Amino acid sequence: MQMTETVTTQLPQVTHARNPGMVLDLDWVAALQANTSAIERRAATLGGRRSVKKDWQAAWLLKAISLIDLTTLSGDDTAGRVRRLCAKARQPVRPEMLAALGMPGLTVGAVCVYHEMVETAVRALEGSGIPVAAVSTGFPAGLSPWHLRLAEIGESVRAGAAEIDIVISRRHVLTQNWQALYDEMAEMRAACGDAHVKAILATGELGTLRNVARASLVCMMAGADFIKTSTGKESVNATLPVSLTMVRAIRDYEARTGFKVGYKPAGGISKAKDALLYLALMKDELGHPWLQPDLFRFGASSLLGDIERQLEHHLTGHYSAANRHAMG
């Protein structure tokens, strides 16, 4: 007789009240605008206005590691690859380097995989405190039948996923059907239960920053715990102007409701210097609470390798080859 083992879900550690959502306020949505030229000018100043060096840079890079959703979303994923990724999540930087930097025990924020690999990741991370996130709802296009999208959420939660990264129907944004987007998001949030839900907007396919701002607000009204830029599969993924638009929507939502919503830029963030820019943006616009894993994540895979190279340079004065910092 086949025995079924119990899967223990590692729920995300949060320090704030979970966003319960609110009734859709179409007047607020319609009033929301985005000054594209001003947003782009503000985003362009970040690199010059916020620069950190030496020990301070190393400290910020260590912080960035703790905020990474270490991700593999490839068609050729195997259980072995996922287990190696989970080993890297547990030990993201070589132990001797972390000891020298005074940060033994540092881990990433989460591991993100397809549903098929959730149970493998949960077992590989058991006892680590690192949650597993699953991409869901017909990722990346979000065009599978509605009942299957909801069923996929349930299957991933039962397999042990503590976080569900869902994709919205872009057509609702492009046709300004905010009620449909709200209803869809609210139902997906309900299907997640205790698992936290990250709403992927696929911003590169929404056309304008105003659409990005309004879609962000509607998803938060419907109960999203995080709003996320991209699937990583679009031609344009996370950018600083899009991020500024989304974090200001988060700031407005908190000011109006008192509830904090997290932010996850994903796709195209592969260099340590880029991570520093995003951290500066979060610190400037939202403050210290959004520099913690319960409110900010990087969706990335190659970013960790470059951060590890920069930390080794900080310690030794030399850059090592990228193959010395493999993902597994």
In a 13 Å sphere around the CA of 311, the CA atoms on its Cβ side amount to 28
Yes or no: say if 9 and 162 are a contact pair by the CB < 8 Å rule.
yes
Say what angle helices 178-192 and 209-221 make with each other, to 10 degrees. Answer: 50
Rounded-to-10 torsion of CA 175, 180, 181, 185:
-160
In a 13 Å sphere around the CA of 159, the CA atoms on its Cβ side amount to 24
Q: Which of 170, 134, 97, 109 is nearest to 325 (CA)?
A: 97
Residues annotated catalytic, as ranges: 165, 228, 264
At residue 266, the 3 state secondary structure works out as strand
Beta bridge partners of 66: none
Classify residue 130 by its DSSP letter.
-
One DSSP character per residue, 37-65 reads HHHHHHHHTHHHH----HHHHHHHHHHHH
* Amino acid, res. 32: L
